[in-house]
Structure 1
């Protein structure tokens, strides 16, 4: 529970009057103060999902108390540090965030799309912070929706309907390629046989708006969905998304081959972990026959709690912390290559300083360990390290 000061009044963010207070602050362009620290931490008010919400000021996350809902680990501990301020430009005055993407949101009529950057080795190991890859966009929205965070009260409260609601809210106030991201982001509704006709009608209405022709070019939409299967088709393959059983997305042979090469670790991890979720983000268009075809795609694996993880060691650490009742923030890689160290999670300990937790791959060489030591030293946060080559997971913090 968070206390904030709006004008000369202190109020809890769960109070019944908070919506009215935030609306007033929004109209006055006032910056409320989060009282997690004695001097207060400035915040701002934005509109999302038809309501007013409290947002932390750009770059202010580490200034909040570790117990505060607005606490954010230092950006350098994840891939966010390389893109924030360049590929992600926040404006707290109007609440609009500019996203600079390295992939297209349109396609020239009658032409094949260029090879997807995310479906190439360059896309998989890209370190440039000036543009967001497709995977980085997914990580950003996941983090904005706070699905990389865990606290015990979240147990049993996440399903696809919840994810969809907050991912769509996270997209509001974001622009990319001259478009409002919310206008092109397609996240399927949770399937309900009794409402199938109404859901289908809303889907078709949204896609017809999102894919309007722009001269000789046609807009593409961005899909975020959970993969049910990738199956052979008569020509190429089709990606079947959960909650869209009768609306497949076609994938040509070249894109399928590249996806399997670049995202082999994610596909293997999903295949080996029965309770995991495979999340796809893809740009797609619809042809004259009404068939959806994927232009570019990226994949991410999440635990049964919908927390992203990159390997079974990260999965084991996340599950152990969650079972212990810990609160933590999972770091996301964005554009950062696998060879670059980052924190696995930042543990938020009640009444104590945050703790960075690192999983060091087996066979990590001197250069990796030097970078890790520098990262830990620069973060200013104490560290817990699991060296995979040394064997089983070390004892967790008390």
Structure 2
């Protein structure tokens, strides 16, 4: 893509703010320089906002950081950390990736931004079956990439789930979300559906072959049925994203018989799971399966072979039955608000942040191997762009070594008091969670 368009910038929170169109954003414009200088000096009150998507009541959206290069005597703007995706795809502040680690994970061709703002993504197993290929078992596991240390040539199903969560901002939380619309399974399905309309895989729009949870009375059931018919007739693989059913004991029993049932699967084909595919899921997502058995919400991201139609004689009648063989299962543990978490300790902090009406982002790793991302990022701390949060939940020698490296890095970048952490390995740790940094 090109460098990006300069859109108007709005400055608020100063005695005299203003809106500056692109031509006015020049070092030769004394008013522009003065406003940037004042905004940088008054970080607690000032808001510098990109208007690439127009004005918005939420002044935390598309906020910009004002920096100063002393050696060049120049002010410049950049997007807040983890917020590049909030901007228009043609905006100079737009970024597909929220952090450098994710950007370096994949080859450049794995995710591309098209001229119309849609994304083209390469999956390990494409959505179109090759004609004459009767072998349904893929040569690779599409659910999660092995830890090879190499740049990934495709995005796994787990990476696709993370990509959708990030683009739909499901991994972002603000107190007003509770007041606007409750986050339930149907809200999640709608959010995923909308985002999938802007994603292309194998030269197809992902939403054409996507199945999500549906209600009896809503239109999504019929949409799911239409998509299954399309995939059956055109021999297209399908992607399914939905919660594992709440009753884990019953769900496990069904998997042993070769069938996977998800939450509210109206309009879905029967999902058939081979022992090999489920064993691969157990190896890669054992922690998520364990959380499921303990009553936690777990999202499944599946890829299936093209659905097939057969007839079964039931009570003297030929009954049509549509089935689809699952070729990959990725799992993602989420909180009641569908924020992804990697452990019960993270879930405790997420719940407490929401109880205290804090604004935060849960950074997502995609298929990155380096554990460089914070567990959460607070975005409502007075005078700060963001405050990283770390939950230290293990006490092995290897983990302590990684913890020391992270601690040194955070202290160097943010200062000893510029980030937050909780040692969850201590006795009665939940009773001594440090207070969160003060909010605006």
TMscore range, shorter length: 0.7 to 0.9
Partner of 1:157: 182
Deviation sequence 1:269-302 (CA, Å, 0-9, x none): 2222x3x311111111312422122111100111
Partner of 1:396: 436
Q: Counterparts of 1:199 and 1:350 in 2: how far apart (Å)?
A: 40
Q: Counterparts of 2:365 and 2:47 in 1: how far apart (Å)?
A: 33
Partner of 1:112: 136
- CA 368–8 in structure 1, closer or farther in 2 if over 3 Å, else same: closer
Using the TM superposition, give the Cα deviation of residue 372 of structure 1 relative to its aligned residue in structure 2, in angstroms.
5.7
Q: Counterparts of 2:82 and 2:46 in 1: how far apart (Å)?
A: 10
Q: Counterparts of 2:121 and 2:221 in 1: how far apart (Å)?
A: 30
Partner of 1:322: 354
Using the TM superposition, give the Cα deviation of residue 77 of structure 1 relative to its aligned residue in structure 2, in angstroms.
7.5
Deviation sequence 1:90-141 (CA, Å, 0-9, x none): 24x4212221222332335532322552457x44777635421110000110
Partner of 1:302: 334
**Is contact 1:78–1:332 with CA below 8 Å preserved after alignment?**
no
Deviation sequence 1:356-395 (CA, Å, 0-9, x none): 1112342214255325644674689932122334452333
The answer to whether structure 1 residue 63 and structure 2 residue 87 are counterparts is: no
Using the TM superposition, give the Cα deviation of residue 241 of structure 1 relative to its aligned residue in structure 2, in angstroms.
1.1
The answer to whether structure 1 residue 366 and structure 2 residue 401 are counterparts is: yes
Higher normalized strand content (fraction of residues): 1
How does 1:68-107 map onto structure 2 within 5 Å? 70=86, 75-76=98-99, 79=102, 82-83=105-106, 87-91=110-114, 93-107=115-129
- CA 304–69 in structure 1, closer or farther in 2 if over 3 Å, else same: same
Which consecutive residues of structure 1, in runs of 5 or more, have no partner in the other structure?
A: 1-5, 11-34, 46-54
Which consecutive residues of structure 2, in runs of 5 or more, have no partner in the other structure?
A: 1-5, 11-38, 40-44, 55-60, 64-76, 88-93, 311-321
Partner of 2:383: 352
The answer to whether structure 1 residue 278 and structure 2 residue 298 are counterparts is: yes
Q: Counterparts of 1:118 and 1:270 in 2: how far apart (Å)?
A: 21
Larger Rg: 2
Q: TM-score, normalised by structure 1?
A: 0.73
Deviation sequence 1:322-368 (CA, Å, 0-9, x none): 1111010111121023x623211110115431101112342214255
**Is contact 1:116–1:296 with CA below 8 Å preserved after alignment?**
no
Q: Counterparts of 1:328 and 1:371 in 2: how far apart (Å)?
A: 20
How does 1:203-222 map onto structure 2 within 5 Å? 203-213=224-234, 218-222=235-239
Q: TM-score, normalised by structure 2?
A: 0.67
**Is contact 1:347–1:355 with CA below 8 Å preserved after alignment?**
yes
Using the TM superposition, give the Cα deviation of residue 212 of structure 1 relative to its aligned residue in structure 2, in angstroms.
4.0
Q: RMSD of the TM alignment (CA)?
A: 4.0
